[in-house]
Amino acid sequence: MQETITLQTPQREILVDITPMVESVVQSSGVGYGIINVYAQGATAAIMVQENWDESVQTDVVNLLRKMIPKGVWLHDAQDGNGDAHLKSGLVGPSETIPIIDGRLGLSTWQNIFFCEFDGPRSERHVLCTVISDE
C-alpha cells in the first residue's frame, strides 16, 4: 500500500513533525506487523527520526547543518541559490524505515518522524509512505 502525505512548510529551514500523519497511514493500511518507508519527494528535503520532547533538538539540527553547510558558497548556487539545501538533503537522506508493531509505529517514547525542509517555504511538499506487511 502507498499513500502520499501533502504538507506546507513555513520557512526556509525547518523540521516539521509528520508523525501523526504517518500514524494515520499505518492505521488506514490495516497492517499489524511490517514496515513503513517514509520518503521525501524533493531534492532539497529529507526525513529524520529525532527527539520529540524538546523543540530545541530540532533547532539544534538546523543550526548544526547551517554551520556545516553554509549558504552561498557552492557551485550550484550559480544556478538557483540553493546549493546548501541539496547538500543538507543528501547528508540527512530522503527516507526512514520504521517497524510496524501491533498496528502502531515502532518508535520509542522520545522519537518522532520529521520532514526536513531545507529550501522553503513551500506551499506543497510530498512524502510517499509505503507500507509492507509481513503477515
Residues 83-126: pLDDT tens digits? 999 999 999 999 999 999 999 999 999 999 999 999 999 999 99
Q: What is the pLDDT of residues 21-60, one digit of tens each?
A: 999 999 999 999 999 999 999 999 999 999 988 889 999 9
CATH number at residue 45: 2.60.120.460
Total number of domains in the chain: 1
Owning domain of residue 38: 2-133
Q: What is the DSSP letter of 66?
A: H
Q: Using alpha carbons, select from 44, 81, 84 the residue that is nearest to residue 64.
A: 84
| Torsions phi, psi for 75 (to 5 deg) | -55, -40
Can you state the percent helix, strand and coil of the chain, rounding each to 5? Answer: 30, 40, 30
Q: Provide the grid cell at 78.
A: 550559480
